[in-house]
A and B are shown apart, each in its own frame.
Chain A
Amino acid sequence: MRLRRPGAAVPGPDVADPARGIELRGVGHRYGDRVVLADVQLTLTEARIGVVGANGSGKSTFARLLNGLVVPSEGRVLVDGLDTRTQVRAVRRRVGFVFQDPDAQIVHPTVAEDVAYGLENQGVPADERTERVAEVLARHGLAGHADHPAHLLSGGQKQLLAIAGVLVMRPARIVFDEPTTLLDLVNARRVGELIAGLAQQVVVVTHQLDLLDGFDRVLVVDRGRVVTDAAPGPAVAAYRRLMADR
């Protein structure tokens, strides 16, 4: 099922340079008069990047900027050199997005059909779709659930399904927006291990600080600004101090 809005903006030339990573150049964003992000200037090339911050600090908006779900009010976001404003289709093929609530992400009634959804949008032929869906379901312990109704899965299985639906599209980078918030300890650990084992560049927005163990870089977002940008140890310490002062 390929969907194209009549008169849709034609994507710009797809001349990606993976070495450039994700660049945020003077990025700011506001909803109405409310500024949620301001003056963000970053280049993200590390394999594992964490984002922490209080509720309402702007970190989910930050995450949504990275694959063009939100276009910045000011500045530019470039993924592999592609602008999220003008080349959003190419950007989204490169940057997968896993949401906090898998129920909002799962759009098909059964497991296998939902995993295949993104591939259908990409125009992947049916045979290859079937093969890739089976492979990703097997890899994440969902092979036995291929024809099960998605709404009957457990919370952990739903989050695995949501992740499988992204992984099957083979993006080079994946953004996770609080992927373990709704999960129990066992499932949160499973998702954490899954993220740790991914070959892709990963950006994880989280409140679960132990998820950041082994990460290369952690950003602390506060009141719309990146106030700390450091290795996990110092960044988490800075975040704890910030929260203790509230």
Chain B
Amino acid sequence: MTLALHVPRDSAVHRLPAGVKLLALAVLAVVLFVLPTPLAAGAALAGVLVVGLLAARLPIAVLAGQARAVRWWLLGLLVVHALTTDVVTAVHVALRLLALVLAAAVVTATTRVSEMVAVVERLCAPLRLVGVRPARVGLVVTMALRFIPLLTDRADRIREAQAARGGPARGLRGLRTTVAPLLVQVLQMAHDVSEALDARGADDVPPPRRRRSPALETR
């Protein structure tokens, strides 16, 4: 699994502050819902493509990949709206969703994760008043982005191992037999990652004496 991450380029879009890009994305979402016409959605989509492909000089594959990822949603929306309302509304809804997905992809591809996280931390700054640490919120966001592909990979490995021994690799049965071993691996990984965070200076308090259960400690 590949998350749409930063695509380094020297462009004006890349140089824009992350906060500005996220604000623009939010404004675009509001505008698309305030101006409920297919023309507005089409214009927004064209604008997003111009910004992404020409101004930010992103490879077309980056945006095409994102469109591919939501193609079944788009198709479903198109069909449902065509059947329940009319074709114009169906096209409008699909165009609106596609424009927003691609706009989000442009923001993601032109912004480093660290810049994005810095914005999250700034937005969370007022939460200090109620004891929330913005840096910790930022770390959670960062680690979620880092570990989603890793967990997907681990789940694939478990499915492969089960399939190699004749187990169900797909379907509901496959999902059921994957969940328990994946959960065990996730817990073990969470423990290892917490040690790594400690080792890299994320927190400076001494660890408790009994950090792990005897079952986990076999080293």
Contacts and interface: CB of A to CB of B under 8 A. Distances in A.
Q: Do A and B come from one complex?
A: yes
Interface of A: 1-6, 8-9, 11, 31-32, 34, 36, 55-56, 58-61, 64, 67-71, 73, 84-86, 88-89, 92-93, 96-97, 99, 101, 103-110, 113-114, 116-118, 121-122, 147, 149-152, 165-166, 169
Contacts of A151: 146, 149-150, 153
Given A71-B209, A151-B149, 5 more contacts: A58-B219, A89-B204, A104-B195, A107-B143, A121-B202
A116 B207 contact: no
A92 B204 contact: yes
A2 B135 contact: yes
Contacts of A9: 204-206
Contact of A1 (B2, B139, B199): B139
B209 to A, nearest CB: 6
Interface in B144-202: 145-146, 149-150, 153, 189, 192-193, 195-202
A149 B2 contact: yes
Contacts of A86: 206
A107 B193 contact: yes
A56 B219 CA distance: 4
15 contacts: A2-B135, A31-B210, A32-B214, A36-B217, A56-B219, A59-B219, A69-B207, A71-B208, A71-B209, A97-B196, A99-B199, A103-B189, A104-B193, A105-B199, A117-B200
B3 interface: yes
A37 to B, nearest CB: 11
Given A34-B214, A106-B146, A107-B197, A8 B204 contact: yes
Contacts of B133: 3-4, 6
A9 B203 CA distance: 10
A109 B192 contact: no
Contact of A99 (B112, B196, B204): B196
Nearest to B121: A1
B113 interface: yes
A118 B201 contact: yes
Given A99-B195, A108-B146, A5 B203 contact: yes
B5 A1 contact: no
A116 B211 CA distance: 27
A94 to B, nearest CB: 11
Contacts of A147: 6-8, 112
Nearest to A178: B219
Per CB-CB distance, the 6 closest pairs between chain A and chain B, nearest first, are: A60-B219, A104-B192, A121-B201, A89-B204, A97-B199, A151-B149
Contact of B5 (A4, A32, A107, A109): A109
B15 interface: no
B52 interface: no
Contacts of B153: 151
B11 interface: no
Given A32-B214, A103-B150, A64 B204 contact: no
Given A104-B189, A108-B142, A3 B203 contact: yes
Interface in B100-152: 112-114, 117, 121, 131, 133, 135-136, 138-139, 142-143, 145-146, 149-150
Contacts of B146: 106-109, 114, 150-151
Nearest to A114: B146
